[in-house]
A = this chain, B = another copy of it.
Amino acid sequence: MIKAGIAGATGYTGIELVQLLHRHPQAALHWITSVNSAGKPLSEVHAVPWNYPLITLEEAYARAAEVDVVFLCLPHGQSITAARTFAAAGIAVIDLSADFRLQSAEAYRRWYGLEHTAPELLPSFVYGLCEVNREKLRTARLIAVPGCYPTTVNLGLYPLAKAGWLGDRVIIDSKSGVSGAGRTAKQPYMFVEANENMTPYAIGYRHRHIAEMELVLNGAAPGGACHFTFSPHLLPASRGILSTMYVRAPDGVTETQIRDLYAATYAGEPFIHLLPAGQQATLRHTVHTNRCAISITADDPGDPACRDFIIVATEDNLLKGASGQAVQCMNLAFGLDEIAGLI
């Protein structure tokens, strides 16, 4: 049994991890932390029956040796110290924040506006997109779990990028359930504000999550860089992300070729659900699962010269987009069956 701790267990990704590890056949939870609720049992903070005591992060540091792996569900900027402390104690660190996703302090400064205080650790972190970095993850001790939006975009476009078929511009229209905004009480995420509403926010070439798209997709592309226009929208649903992506393939590339490319790239992947022609990926394909569903549609199926395609990718933002993928990373890093606890 792998012994696990969670730093920051009362947010939405934290409580999701508690549930995943509670159910996991080869892992056990040893401690969980909370800033605001330390000293209380978890059952007072979430509607769960488990009375795990919430401890402070400092107490967790002192009890680092009790665990094999710690999951960090802390806000951006606050993971760095925790990661350094736990790494120094020899524990595997799986960080769900953005702090170690980008591969340079310069990129972190540009997109997050923060000075990175542990740049020396950045090269040791593996970006935890399992379908792309599986081999590296098998030996990783420090893992940066991808962001929720970029996971749909990167899984949805990776085959095209790797084949050099992504073109020079992609338009990404994403829709996310409200849990993506976190559990802190803020007016835009109140029920009455978000219900029966839809809100675009931070649209265009400005959203931080573009950094991860450039990292994975431009990193995989054999040719030049692609420009990503990314428009996230808040959706009146609790969970789930649906990204509708508009790409222009090179002349002569057909829908059949693209389908074959995706099928080959993702052959045997346990968590990729490629939809057949005529079916669209929806939130229901993935919510409450660790899967990513992908569908491919030609803009004008009646035009044989049509090079414009619409790729739709969906996931549960708290599972494949966060805590599920984190457990998938743990499974890989600890040599377990990749799907353990995630069926």
| Interface residues, chain A, with chain B CB atoms under 8 Å away | 12, 22-23, 25, 44, 47-49, 171, 173, 175, 177-179, 183, 185-187, 189-201, 203-206, 229, 231, 233, 235-240, 242, 244, 246, 273, 279-285, 287-288, 291, 293, 295, 297-301, 303, 308, 310, 312, 314, 343
Contacts and interface: CB of A to CB of B under 8 A. Distances in A.
A185 B187 contact: yes
Contacts of A314: 198
Nearest to A239: B196
A194 B196 contact: no
Nearest to A230: B299
A53 B173 CA distance: 35
A238 B179 contact: no
Residue of A178, A193, A273, A314 with most chain B CB atoms under a 10 A cut-off: A193
A183 B191 contact: no
A288 B318 CA distance: 15
B198 A240 contact: yes
B190 A287 contact: no
A268 to B, nearest CB: 13
12 contacts: A25-B25, A177-B196, A178-B191, A183-B190, A183-B192, A185-B187, A189-B190, A190-B191, A196-B287, A197-B287, A200-B280, A203-B310
A238 B193 CA distance: 9
A206 to B, nearest CB: 7
A47 to B, nearest CB: 4
Given A206-B300, A298-B204, A343-B22, A283 B198 contact: yes
B301 A196 contact: no
Closest 4 CB pairs of A and B: A173-B173, A205-B300, A47-B284, A185-B185
Given A197-B282, A229-B308, A310-B231, A204 B240 contact: no
A173 to B, nearest CB: 4
B203 A231 contact: no
A238 B47 CA distance: 18
A232 to B, nearest CB: 10
B175 A205 contact: no
B187 A297 contact: no
Contact of A191 (B191, B229, B244): B191
A297 B189 contact: no
Contact of A238 (B25, B178, B195, B246): B195
B233 A236 contact: no
A312 B200 contact: yes
A285 B177 CA distance: 20
Contact of A197 (B48, B185, B284, B293): B284
A204 B277 CA distance: 14
A237 to B, nearest CB: 5
A239 B237 CA distance: 14
Contacts of A195: 178, 191, 195, 237-238
Contacts of A239: 196
